[in-house]
Structure 1
Amino acid sequence: MLTRPRTAAAVGLAVLAVIGAAPTALADGPGGGVECDVFICEVEADAPGQAGSSTGGQAGSEPQGGSESGTSSNPWTCVYEPLSPQPPAESLDWEGHTPGDGAVYQQTCHYLDSPHSVVRNQWLADPPPAAASVDPAVLAQRAVDSMKLAGPDIASPRATGKYLVGMPMWMWVNQSATTYGPNTASASAGGVTVTATAKVSKIVWTMGDGTAVTCHGPGTPYTAASGKSDSPTCGHTYSRASADQPGGRYPVTATSTWTINWQITTGGGGQAGQLTENRQTQTQIPLAELQVLN
């Protein structure tokens, strides 16, 4: 745990700590001055009577110092738990106050979606706000981010393939948790856990010749027994060669739409919702004219 330094001046400490006890309340922004990079946060722990300690009675106060852009947006999510037992009366955690005048809390703060946290003791004049302010949609997005969803894993058409004008092209993708789904992950904060499940609902293929094909499924792999028939699920037939295209190839883009259903699995309420995200994969394929020999 990071506690206030027992010196007469404010000291900046670079901290990465792990959450310990379960939180009882939630607010935004660690008290005291804070300057953060995405991975490292510097917490200016103030000695009694120094600037910054006056924010101790306001859970969720804005980090001091601001951002380079001058905006007041706060990327922090903090939880507070009262220390039990409370520190002795001589502890500097009281910031010059006496036991019974407010209370000392363990403050645990996350910066954006970082898996790390900043942990310190903080005196508050009043209890922090209720934990009900946890936004399950934010936790759902955090769960989705942890899935590392990717674009389609294109099996056909292939850049190394040989394709002919007027011949049916079968399109299909390989299926995995990160490229097609289903993919399930959870995220927690403030006693609330949200579980999300993501699966590709459609793939839109832009073929490079001005056409687009929407496929509601992974497509059907081609077999020799299918001959010159069209794909039953996902296919396209080119009407002209790719000789006039850059590099003599058609640029093909497959864009998958991930449909993500989420629900609260711990923390009550039974709230649920849905998110949508897109991912792309690109390839380039050659199209040649069929040569007939007399």
Structure 2
Amino acid sequence: MKITKHSGHKVPFDKEKLKLSLKKTGAGTDLIRDSLVEIEKQMYDGITTKEIYKLAFAILKKTSNGFAARYNIKLALQMLGPAGFFFEKFISRLYAEDGFKTKINLTLQGKCVSHEVDIAIIKNNIITMIECKFHGSKEGSSDVKVPMYILSRFNDLKAKRHTLFSNNETFDSCIIVTNNRFTKDAQDFANCTGISLLSWDYPQDNNLKNKINKGVLYPITCLTTLSTVEKEKLLILNQILVKDLIDDSQGLHKIGISKNRIKNILQEASQICKLI
């Protein structure tokens, strides 16, 4: 049986890949087995990956909001838009949780012109410039023009000293982050020129998906017990991660959520973060 990808290309159905994605939600062996059986019953030749996702999400949600939320991470990143400002904040938090000092939304003078820099980070006296490329749909990808353009900006900025975390500093490296994917040409150009890339599935062993799961750094937009409007209100209050709500639930009270719903939301948050 073949399935239709977001690009429109048809590829053979990979049961093991679907099984792995279900396993990463925290679902047990029995639930994974039963889910696969139910999904395969409803599949047909040419079914889209989006339809398969909806089937899996609905099955998981019947059992646990937490499982469904963890299955929802990639879509949750797309909800950190529309312009990607909250995606930049999310990426800043990812690095802060890994021991980096971070600053966001900087305007810095290069050797030739001024530039807006999404994020600057420092650890072990190494200062890195991070540029975020946000895509609001699954179809979007960052091609070779992205690292080519950012390389020129990086070269202009590193030729001059800045006041970032202290005085008289220079950028040592550059990372480009996207919530979707980089094309093969973009990866090859970045590798050749020394720029680092971070996307949903690249690099293979230390990609965005793995960083999120390993650090338990889930965005609040993955929660199924919150409405879209409620998620936006919490993001404005700077509650970016699910664990922010566990550490401090006052934001839920501030946006007018009832005590009973807060209890359900925190229960789902705890399930996602494996605290219960």
TM-score interval, normalised by the smaller of the two chains: under 0.3
Higher helix share: 2
When Rg is computed on C-alpha atoms for both structures, the one with the higher figure is: 1
Higher strand share: 1
TM-score, with length taken from structure 2: 0.23
